[in-house]
Every structure is written in C-alpha cells, then in structure tokens.
C-alpha cells in the first residue's frame, strides 16, 4: 500500500532527517499498517496548502498512491481568520479545479491547533515519553483542542518545546498503538486521521 501525504509544513533541509509533522504521521500510519510506503509533499504553510493541494493530490494519485491524506492546522490563524468549514471548502474547491474526481480517495484532516495536540490528549503519552519527569508532575489537559499544545509541552522540556525533530522523536516513544483508541475517542482530528488510514487500506484492495 502506498499513501500520499500533503502537509503544510516546510520540508526538512537535511536529507536524512524527517520533518517533525511527517514523523508523527508516518509513525501512526506505520503502527496501523506496517510496511506502508509513504510519499510526502510539503507546501510550506496553510495558504499554500489551500491553494495548491489539488494539483499535488492529483500528482500523488498518478504516482501510484492508493489515497491521499491532506493535513493542516486550524490555528494559528492566517489573515486573522480561523474557520474549519471555510478551510474544508477551500480544499474541496482546489481539488475540483485540479480535476480530482469528487469520489477520489482523498481525505482531509484539520487539526484544531497543531499536530502536537495528539501528544497531549492522553496524559499517559507524556508519562511514558518523559520517564525522567515524575508522573505526578504531568498534568491532564482538559480543553486540549482550545489550548496551544506547544505551550503545554514547554513545561516538560528544558528551555521550551520547539518542535525540533529530537523533541518529537522523544514524544513518539509514548504515542503507542495501545493508546490510539483512547485518543481517537477524545480527539476528532486523530479519529479522522485513523479513519483516513483505514479508508486507504480499503482503497488499496
């Protein structure tokens, strides 16, 4: 199975190093469907993603991907506006303009804040990822979809959490498949991402 990923982040400048967002998506896909081939496209920022996802999705499908998953953040806002419905509409319009069939296996995941949200939904992820910190010091986050996850994570990293690859690699140690069901029940975007991977498997058959 080959999955195409379209992300709003910048591509890593180092050939051997994965972008942090790509690392997280790859980690989840590989835990759900080991052996999956992944081809990623990096569009730099949200406005570029909304304007260019269509032609890139079309190309990924031509490249043999059985499906494409488009992932972006609702916040921080661009041009002072954050509206998930408008984002989805913009993506749909761009796909149509690029000639991508409305029934094509292209799936959209809009994350309330940023990809790091998925690390803070379940407290046990941080407990397992950060064994040098006493479990009693790690707080449960109640309103995680309205809270900047980088601010939360900065409480547990020296200096502050920067989203560097090394930080994400550390956090991924706690994001294990045994927690996925708990996270998806609480977090809409994580549920949508897992569902998208499941649809990809169906599309590949």
Q: What's the burial of 115, exposed, middle or buried (CB within 10 Å: 0-12/13-18/19+)?
A: buried
Residue 22: count other Cβ atoms within 10 Å of its Cβ.
21
pTM attached to this predicted model: 0.93
Q: How far apart are CA 11 and CA 24, in angstroms?
A: 14
Edge-to-edge strand ranges of the sheet holding 37-42: 37-42, 2-7, 67-73, 106-111
Q: Can you give the pLDDT at residue 16?
A: 43
Half-sphere exposure of 175 (CA within 13 A, CB side): 26
Residue by residue, pLDDT tens for the chain (205 residues) are: 999 999 998 766 554 456 889 999 999 999 999 999 999 999 999 999 999 999 999 999 999 999 999 999 988 766 667 788 999 999 999 999 999 999 999 999 999 888 999 999 999 999 999 999 999 999 999 888 888 899 999 999 988 898 888 899 999 999 999 999 999 999 999 999 999 999 999 999 8
What are the residue boundaries of the structural domains of the chain, listed by start? 2-204
- Peptide bond connecting 173 to the previous residue in cis, omega within 30 degrees of 0: no
């Amino acid at each position: 199975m080959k999955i195409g990923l379209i992300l709003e982040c910048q591509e890593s400048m180092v050939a051997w190093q994965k972008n942090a967002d790509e690392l997280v998506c790859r980690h989840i896909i590989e835990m759900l469907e080991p052996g999956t081939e992944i081809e990623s496209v990096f569009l730099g920022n949200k406005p570029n993603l909304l304007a260019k996802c269509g032609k890139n999705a079309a190309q990924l499908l031509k490249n043999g991907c059985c499906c494409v998953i488009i992932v972006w953040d609702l916040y921080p806002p661009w041009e002072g506006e954050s509206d998930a419905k408008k984002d989805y509409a913009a993506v749909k319009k761009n796909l149509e303009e690029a000639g991508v069939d409305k029934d094509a296996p292209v799936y959209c995941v809009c994350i309330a804040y940023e990809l790091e949200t998925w690390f803070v939904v379940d407290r046990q992820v941080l407990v397992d990822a950060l064994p040098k910190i006493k479990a009693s010091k790690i707080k449960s986050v109640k309103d995680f979809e309205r809270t900047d996850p980088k601010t939360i994570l900065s409480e547990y990293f020296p200096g502050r959490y920067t989203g560097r690859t090394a930080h994400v690699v550390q956090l991924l140690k706690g994001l294990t498949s045994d927690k996925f069901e708990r996270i998806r029940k609480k977090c809409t975007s994580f549920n949508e991402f897992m569902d998208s991977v499941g649809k990809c498997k169906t599309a590949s058959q």
